[in-house]
Structure 1
Amino acid sequence: MELYEDLNCEKSRSSTEIDIETANFSVHMEELDNNNVPGKSDENAYILGLPVISNGGKIVPANEEDTDSCRPNEIKIQPTLPMYLKFQDVKFKITKMAIEDVKSSDEDKYILHGITGSVHPGEVLALMGPSGGGKTTLLNLLSGRVKLDSGTITYNDQPYTKSLKKRIGFVMQDDVAFPHLTVKETLTYAALLRLPNNLTTLQKKERATSVITELGLERCQNTIVGGKFVRGVSGGERKRVCIGNEILLNPSILFLDEPTSGLDSTAALRIGQMLHTIAEAGKTVITTIHQPSSRLFGMFDKLILLGKGSSIYSGKASEAMPYFSSIGCSPLISMNPAEFLIDLANGNVNDKSFPSQLEVNLLPGSTNQGLENGSGPSPVDVHEYLVEAYESRAAKLNKRKLLKPVVVVDSEIEKLGRLTSRKSNQAPWRDQFSILLRRDLKERRHEYFSCMRVTQVISTAIVIGLLFFISVFWGFFPLFTAIFTFPQERAMLAKERSVDMYKLSAYFVARNTSDLPLDLILPIAFLVIIYLMVGLRPTFTAFSLTLLTIFLSIVAAQGLGLIIGAAFMDVKKATTLASVIVMTFMLSGGFFIKEVPLFMSWVRYMSFNHHSYRLLMKIQYNCSGSGPESGYCESPLMRELRLDEGGREVGALMAMIIGYRLLAYIFLRRMKTSTTA
C-alpha cells in the first residue's frame, strides 16, 4: 500500500520512495520506528496537503527535495499521524428525568456498562450488536461527540481535547449531502472550506480529485448526489461521497455509524474493502455494524460484541468463533458468523449448543422459565452467562494490555494541537462567504426554477390581477418557502459546524445573499403578465417601483419565514404558526377590513401585506396630491385610504428585513450541534 501518492501522476515511483509498509502501522505504537513517525521533520508536514515527499522513511518539505516529474505546485498525500485509541470501563447513563417510563425506574438508566477495548493504527474495529445494544452511543463517546460519564478514553495515552477534532473524522448513518450538487462539486466545496488556508485553491481542488480517485467515484463524479426525492448516484456511491468528505483532511481516526445500512451485500462489501484500504494507509477505523455478511465480517481486524450495553466479546474478529466454542456456544447448523454472534447477543440459542452448566448455574432462583418448559435457557440467562464468561476469561487480559503505555514521539499530540489551533487552518470569513454563496446558488437554482414553481407563478399571475392579492401572493409564497430552509438544512449545518468548517455568520449571510438574485427573476415574469393583462400604469417608473415594492415584500416575508423555521426547526410546528400569522396579516392588510379596532390596530403595522399594499396603491393610483384633499386617493373605491409619500411603508419593510434576519441568526446560534462548535 502506497503511503505517498501523487494526485494526478502515474504510479511510477521507484521502490526506494515507497519504503514504509502497512505492517508498520498495525503493530503497537511503542514498536514504531521513530524515523517513520511524522514529527521528526518540519512541523508543516503535519498539515494535510503540504508538499511532502519520501526521503528514506522521513518526511521533508517538497521545496527541499523534489525529484518528481510532476508540476511543483502539486501536492502529495502525507502519511497519517498514527493514533492508538484505548478505552477502559466506559459507562454511560441517562437520568431518570429523560426516561419515558419513569414509573418503572427510580434510578438512572445505564446504556453502557464498563466497556473496555483498544484499536491500533492500521486496524478496523467493528462494534457489533443488536439494535439498542449501545453501539452508536459508544461510537459517539469514543469520537468525543458525547461527553464521557465514567471511565477513560485516550488517544496515544492523551485525553480528548479540541485540538484532536481535525484529526477525527465521523461519518453519520444518514447520508447528509446537498442533493443537487454533483459528486465533484460536493467534495470540491468541502475541500475549499476544510483544508488548511495555506494551501492554494488549485491544491485543494487537486486533493478533492485525489479523494474521488481513491474512492472509485470517477465514473459518477459529474452526477448529482441525489436524495430521497431526487434521483442521483447509487446508495453505495452516496455513502462513499460522505466518507470522502471526512478523509479529505486525512484524519488519524475515522468513525463510521452503520456505513452499510440500506446497501445490498455487494455494495456493503465494497464499503468494507474501502475501509480496509483506508486503515492500511495508517488510519484507525472504528465502525458500527448491525449484521454483516460473512465476507464483510472477515475484513474486520477487531470486534466488540455488545449485548444490552455490556461486552460479551472483545478481541480479534477471527478469534470470536473459537472463543464462544470454548465456553460451550456453537452453531448446530451452517450459519453466518455474524448472524450467530447477533443471535447470542440477543439471547437466542435456537440451533445452537449451550453448556450444561448454564442450566445448573442459573436454574436456582433464576428467571429461566424456559428450562422448566424444556425449551432452553431464557434470553436473560444467556446474557448473564455470556457477560460472566467474558468477565472471567477475557476482560482482565484486555485490561492488562491497556496498561501498557504508548510511546509518543516528539510530543505529537501537543505539537498537533498547536498546528490545528492556528487561525490559518480555517479560510478567512470572506472566502467562506464566497464559497458558501457559490454553493448555495448552484444548489438552489434547481428549486427556484423547477417546473412546479414556474408553473405556479405564471398560473397565479393569470388568475389574479388585483393589487392586494399581488401583495398577498408575494408575501406568503416566499414566507412558506423560507420556513423549510433551516429545518431542511439542519443536519447539514450541524454536521459542518461540528467540525468548524465555517463560521455561522458566513453561512447565514451567504444563505440570504444567494436568495436575492433568484428572487428577482420570477417576480419580473409575474409582473409582466399582470401588466399586460390588467393594464396598470404603463410607465417604466411605475413598473420599476412596483417591482421594487414586490421585492421588498418578498425579502421581508422571507425573513419572517426564516425566523419561524429557525425558532422551531420543525416544519409541522412552523407551518402551523405561519398559517395563523398569514390569516392575521391578510385580514389586517387593509383590503377586507378598513376600520380595525383600536386594541388590534397595532397588528397592521407588523403586516408586510399592509405596507406593500399601500405602496402599490400609491404607485398605481397616484394617491397623493397638493390640494385640500391631499393624501386621499382619487379613485372612489380608495377614498378611505390616506397615504403619505411612502417613506413610512418603505422604512417599515426595511426594518422587518433587517430585524427578522437578526432574530433568525440569534435562534440559529442557539441551535445545538452534535459537538461544541
Structure 2
Amino acid sequence: MMKVKMKLEYFIHILQQLLQDPSGSGKTTLLNFLSGRLFSENLAISGELFLNKRNLTSIEEYSNQIAYVMQDDILLSTFTPRESFQFVLQLKKSKLSEQQRNLQIQNLIEELGLQKCADTLIGGGLIKGISGGEKKRTSIGIELLTEPKIIFLDEPTTGLDSSTSLQVINILKKLAYKGMNVIATVHQPSTDLFYNFDNLLLLVQGNIIYQGRTEDSIDFFTKIGFECPESYNPCDFFMKIMNEQGFLMEKMIEDDDQQLALDEDQIKCQFQERLNLLKQNYEKQDKSEYYNQQNIEESAQILSIYKESSFWVQFILISKRFFINILRAKMSLKLQFFQLILFSFLFIIAYYNIRNINPDTQPLIYFINIRGASYFMVNAFAFQSVSQSIFTFNSQKSLYIREKATNLYRVSAFFWGKCLSEFSFQIIFPILFVFINYFIVGFEANLVKFLITNLTMILLAWHGSSYGFLVSILIPKYEVAIALISLIVVPLSLLSGIFESEQSFPIYWRVISYFSLFKYGYQAMCIVNIFYFFIFIFFFFQQIEFSK
C-alpha cells in the first residue's frame, strides 16, 4: 500500500510550477490526486489540501476550474485537431452560435501554432497523421477549451525532441503569463527547459525536499553541501543526489575499494540519511515569500459552470463522431471486406454442389448440406463480430476514460451512440454475404426465406457485438481478452445443438446453452430453410411405409 502525505497549501497559486523527481517518486500520483482522478483502492491518502488558506474537504470543490493533460496523447486518430476542438466545444458550450465556436477554435489554433496541421488527421497506428509535438499541443488545446484556472500536465515533453519540447514549454509559459496556473511534471528536462519554469518542486519517495524559485535552487543545495558543477545540467545534478543509483555512482567514483566493501543495506542506509538531511533542510526553508494574497484570490475565482448539454445533443454528436471514425478507418473497412470475400469464396467452394442435389430424390443429403451451410454462416459471422467488437471497444476505451473524467458527456449517451454506429455498420456485411452466397450455393429461391435469412444474420452480428462488448468489460486488457476469447466462444459453439442434441446435455450444460449465440442463430436458420423440408421428409417416409 502506498501512502501519500503532503501539505500543499501554497501549491496552487504559483505562476508556473515544475515538479521533478526520480521515476516512481509519486509525481503522477500527486497530479492524479490533485486533479480528482486518483481511483485506486490500494492508496491510503492522508494530509491536508488548502486553497486560499481554506481547507478543502473534497477535490470536487474546485474540479470545474482545473484541467489535466496526461502523459499519453489520447486522441481520436481519424479526427483533425480542428474537429477535436469542435466536438468538445459543442458539448461544453452548446449554447454558443456556430460562428462564436469557430472564432474561439481559430483563436486557439493560432495560439497553439497549429495552423499548418489544423485540418490534418491526427493519425495513429495505421493512419498517418501529425507529429508528436502537434499531438501534445492538440491535447493541451482540448483542455484549454474549458478556460481552466489551473492546468496540470504529466510529463508534457516525454518523447519529444529538444526543439519541440521547448515549443510546448513556451506555450505553457504564455498561458502562465495570462494568469493561468501551470503545473507540470518533467523527468530530467534540458537546461533550457529547466530555466523556463518560475518555480521548482522536488520530490523523493513522496517527500518534498525543495520548493521555491527555480533560479534559487542551485544556491539552496550549495549551502547544504551539494554543489552543482559548472556547465552541468541542474536537473541531472538534482536527479543524481535524489536517486539511490546516483548515490551508488558517487560512492564508486569516490573510492572503488570502499565500494567493494559496501553492501546493499549500507548503501540504502546512507542514502536514507541523505534523504532525512534534505527533508530537514526543506522544513527549515522560509516559505512565506511565495504567498501573494492577491494572486491567490485571482487564481481561485470559481469558473462559471457550463450548463451540461442535453442527452440528445450528446447522443447525436457522439453518434456522428463514431460514424465518421468508421468511414475514415479505411484500412479496417478494407480488412473486413477482404474477410467477407474470403469467407464467401470458402463457402461457395464447400457448398456449391447443393444446387445440384435434387431434394425430391436425395432428401437426406440435401438436408445435411443445408444444415452444414447454415452452421458455416452462423459460425463465421459470430466469430467475426465478436472479435471485431473487442478490437473497436478496446481501441476507444482510453479515449472514453479520458473524456468521462472531464464530465464531457453522460455514460448513457456514449453507450447508445456507440451502439447506433456499430450496429448500423453491422447491417452492411451480413446483407452482402447473404446476397452473394444465398442463390449461388443453392438455398431455396424464396423471397420471404431470403429476407428472413438476412434478418437472422444481422441479429447474429448484433448479438456477437454485444458479446464482444461484454468480454471487453469483464477482461479489461485487450491482449488477455483476445487470448481467452476462444475459451469462451468455442464452448458456446459446441452447445449450439448441431453436434449433439440438447436433450442429451447434462442439466448444467443445458443451462449454459441458453447463452449461446450460435444456438439461436443456427436454430433460426434451420427453421427458415429446413422446417418445411422436415414436413416433406415425414410424408416421404410415410409414403414408403404405406407402399410396403
How far has the Cα of 1:595 moved from its partner? 5.4
- The residue that corresponds to 1:143 in the other structure is 35
How far has the Cα of 1:428 moved from its partner? 0.4
- The residue that corresponds to 2:13 in the other structure is 120
Q: Tell me how far apart the structure 1 counterparts of residues 121 and 390 of structure 2 sit (CA, whole Å).
A: 25
**Equivalent of 1:312, from 206, 209, 213?**
209
Q: Tell me how far apart the structure 2 counterparts of residues 490 and 247 of structure 1 sit (CA, whole Å).
A: 22
Percentage identity across aligned positions? 29
**Equivalent of 1:173, from 71, 77, 88?**
71
Mapped contact 2:4–2:45 kept (Cα < 8 A): no
**Equivalent of 1:615, from 514, 524, 527?**
524
Q: Tell me how far apart the structure 1 counterparts of residues 67 and 443 of structure 2 sit (CA, whole Å).
A: 59
5+ residue gaps, structure 1 = 1-93, 95-108, 357-368, 625-630, 640-677
How far has the Cα of 1:404 moved from its partner? 7.3
Q: Tell me how far apart the structure 2 counterparts of residues 346 and 218 of structure 1 sit (CA, whole Å).
A: 42
Q: Tell me how far apart the structure 1 counterparts of residues 415 and 208 of structure 2 sit (CA, whole Å).
A: 44
- The residue that corresponds to 2:200 in the other structure is 303
Q: Tell me how far apart the structure 2 counterparts of residues 584 and 431 of structure 1 sit (CA, whole Å).
A: 42
Question: Partner of 1:574: helix, strand, or coil?
Answer: helix
- What's the TM-score, normalizing by structure 2? 0.82
Q: Tell me how far apart the structure 2 counterparts of residues 119 and 454 of structure 1 sit (CA, whole Å).
A: 54
Q: Tell me how far apart the structure 2 counterparts of residues 510 and 295 of structure 1 sit (CA, whole Å).
A: 46
Question: Partner of 1:126: helix, strand, or coil?
Answer: strand
Aligned residues between the structures:
500
- The residue that corresponds to 1:384 in the other structure is 273
- The residue that corresponds to 2:85 in the other structure is 187
Higher relative contact order (CA 8 A, sep 6+): 2
Mapped contact 2:387–2:468 kept (Cα < 8 A): yes
Q: Tell me how far apart the structure 1 counterparts of residues 241 and 129 of structure 2 sit (CA, whole Å).
A: 39
How far has the Cα of 1:153 moved from its partner? 1.9
Cα distance change, pair 545–320 in 1 and its aligned pair in 2 (3 A): same
Confirm or deny that 1:329 pairs with 2:226.
yes
Confirm or deny that 1:564 pairs with 2:446.
no
Confirm or deny that 1:634 pairs with 2:536.
yes
How far has the Cα of 1:288 moved from its partner? 0.4
Confirm or deny that 1:580 pairs with 2:487.
yes
What letter is aligned with 2:324? Answer: K
Q: Tell me how far apart the structure 2 counterparts of residues 261 and 198 of structure 1 sit (CA, whole Å).
A: 37
Mapped contact 1:490–1:569 kept (Cα < 8 A): no
How far has the Cα of 1:409 moved from its partner? 6.3
Mapped contact 1:523–1:550 kept (Cα < 8 A): yes
Question: Partner of 1:425: helix, strand, or coil?
Answer: coil
- The residue that corresponds to 2:359 in the other structure is none
Q: Tell me how far apart the structure 1 counterparts of residues 21 and 426 of structure 2 sit (CA, whole Å).
A: 50
What letter is aligned with 2:210? Answer: Y
- The residue that corresponds to 2:442 in the other structure is 535
How far has the Cα of 1:307 moved from its partner? 2.1
What letter is aligned with 1:436? Answer: I
What letter is aligned with 1:519? Answer: Q
Cα distance change, pair 349–573 in 1 and its aligned pair in 2 (3 A): closer
- The residue that corresponds to 1:131 in the other structure is 23
Q: Where in structure 2 are the equivalents of 1:24-423 lying within 5 Å? A: 94=1, 110-111=3-4, 117-120=10-13, 123-146=15-38, 149-158=45-54, 159=56, 160-193=58-91, 195-332=92-229, 334-346=231-243, 348=246, 381=270, 384-385=273-274, 387-389=276-278, 391-392=280-281, 394-401=282-289, 413=301, 416=302, 419-420=304-305
What letter is aligned with 1:187? Answer: F
What letter is aligned with 2:280? Answer: E
Q: Tell me how far apart the structure 1 counterparts of residues 417 and 466 of structure 2 sit (CA, whole Å).
A: 14
How far has the Cα of 1:390 moved from its partner? 5.5
Confirm or deny that 1:461 pairs with 2:363.
no
Q: Tell me how far apart the structure 2 counterparts of residues 321 and 403 of structure 1 sit (CA, whole Å).
A: 21
Cα distance change, pair 379–332 in 1 and its aligned pair in 2 (3 A): farther
What letter is aligned with 1:426? Answer: E
Cα distance change, pair 294–412 in 1 and its aligned pair in 2 (3 A): closer
- The residue that corresponds to 2:366 in the other structure is none
Mapped contact 2:35–2:68 kept (Cα < 8 A): yes
- What's the TM-score, normalizing by structure 1? 0.67
How far has the Cα of 1:521 moved from its partner? 1.7
- The residue that corresponds to 1:431 in the other structure is 313
Mapped contact 2:180–2:299 kept (Cα < 8 A): no
Mapped contact 2:9–2:53 kept (Cα < 8 A): no
How far has the Cα of 1:210 moved from its partner? 2.4
Question: Partner of 2:536: helix, strand, or coil?
Answer: coil
How far has the Cα of 1:128 moved from its partner? 0.4
Confirm or deny that 1:452 pairs with 2:335.
yes
Q: Tell me how far apart the structure 1 counterparts of residues 211 and 399 of structure 2 sit (CA, whole Å).
A: 34
Question: Partner of 1:331: helix, strand, or coil?
Answer: coil
Question: Partner of 1:632: helix, strand, or coil?
Answer: helix
- The residue that corresponds to 2:383 in the other structure is 476
Q: Tell me how far apart the structure 1 counterparts of residues 527 and 46 of structure 2 sit (CA, whole Å).
A: 69
Question: Partner of 2:534: helix, strand, or coil?
Answer: coil
Mapped contact 2:112–2:141 kept (Cα < 8 A): yes
What letter is aligned with 2:205? Answer: K
How far has the Cα of 1:169 moved from its partner? 0.4
How far has the Cα of 1:223 moved from its partner? 1.8
Q: Tell me how far apart the structure 1 counterparts of residues 430 and 499 of structure 2 sit (CA, whole Å).
A: 24
How far has the Cα of 1:213 moved from its partner? 1.9
5+ residue gaps, structure 2 = 352-372, 542-548
Mapped contact 2:315–2:414 kept (Cα < 8 A): yes
Cα distance change, pair 560–197 in 1 and its aligned pair in 2 (3 A): same
Confirm or deny that 1:514 pairs with 2:421.
yes
The CA deviation string for residues 11-50 of structure 1, in whole angstroms up to 9 with x for no partner, is xxxxxxxxxxxxxxxxxxxxxxxxxxxxxxxxxxxxxxxx
Higher mean C-alpha deviation, range 333-342 or range 288-297: 333-342
Q: Tell me how far apart the structure 1 counterparts of residues 388 and 176 of structure 2 sit (CA, whole Å).
A: 44
Question: Partner of 2:68: helix, strand, or coil?
Answer: strand
Q: Where in structure 2 are the equivalents of 1:657-668 lying within 5 Å? A: none
Confirm or deny that 1:523 pairs with 2:405.
no
Quick check: which one's helix share is greater?
Answer: 2
Q: Tell me how far apart the structure 1 counterparts of residues 535 and 477 of structure 2 sit (CA, whole Å).
A: 44
